[in-house]
Amino acid sequence: MSVAIYPGSFDPLTNGHFDIVKRFAGHFEKLYLVVANSSKKSYLFSHDERVALAKDVLSSVDGVEVVGWQGLTIDCARKYKATAILRGVRAISDFDYEFSIAHTHTQLAPEIETFLVLASPQHSFVASNLVKEVARNGGDVSSFVPKPILTALNQKFS
């Protein structure tokens, strides 16, 4: 069975993340969207909120399951018997970071392959950090995020 994980902060999940899930879910028998939590990062939405929001958005996509995770990504992949890790690349600026993570993962877990997948052009500038900044200052982010995320952002900043 081909299983993949798509790990990230998803703080919050954007249309760019959603697009990756919709495009790649069909290429695997099972795709886990892994909402990671790191004590070194500060988030707008709590871990539980990010998991719940991702579940809300992705409930309609066949073959996808949302799970929370704290710890090494490769340990998560092993737990769910995934042989692939998906990561998105929006522009060359993402590449350095993704390149070092991918090679670190390969060194630690050679049996797991990392797939760097390209953002669709219409989402290639969409970033959770920018979405939060615009929403925090009262801007309209409805074209960047799915409806449940928009509602959650409006509640956060109301």
Which stretches of the chain bind ligand ADP, using CB under 6 A? Answer: 8-10, 14, 16-17, 20, 87-88, 90, 94, 119, 123, 126-128
Would you call 132 a catalytic residue per the annotation? no
Least separation, in Å, of the C-beta of 123 and ligand ADP?
A: 4
Catalytic residue among 9, 17, 50, 132: 17
Catalytic residue among 39, 41, 42, 60: 41
Phi and psi (nearest 5°) for 29? -70, -30
Q: Which is nearer to ligand ADP, 69 or 128 (CB)?
A: 128
Q: What angle do CA 78, 79, 83 make, to 5 degrees?
A: 35
Q: Which is nearer to ligand ADP, 45 or 128 (CB)?
A: 128
Catalytic residue among 50, 90, 105, 123: 90
Least separation, in Å, of the C-beta of 36 and ligand ADP?
A: 6
**Contacts of 131 by beta carbon, 8 Å cutoff, 6+ apart:** 12, 14, 141, 144, 145, 153
Q: Which is nearer to ligand ADP, 143 or 158 (CB)?
A: 143
Would you call 79 a catalytic residue per the annotation? no
Burial class from Cβ neighbours inside 10 Å (0-12, 13-18, 19+) for residue 69 reads: buried
Q: Which residues are the active-site residues? A: 17, 41, 90, 128
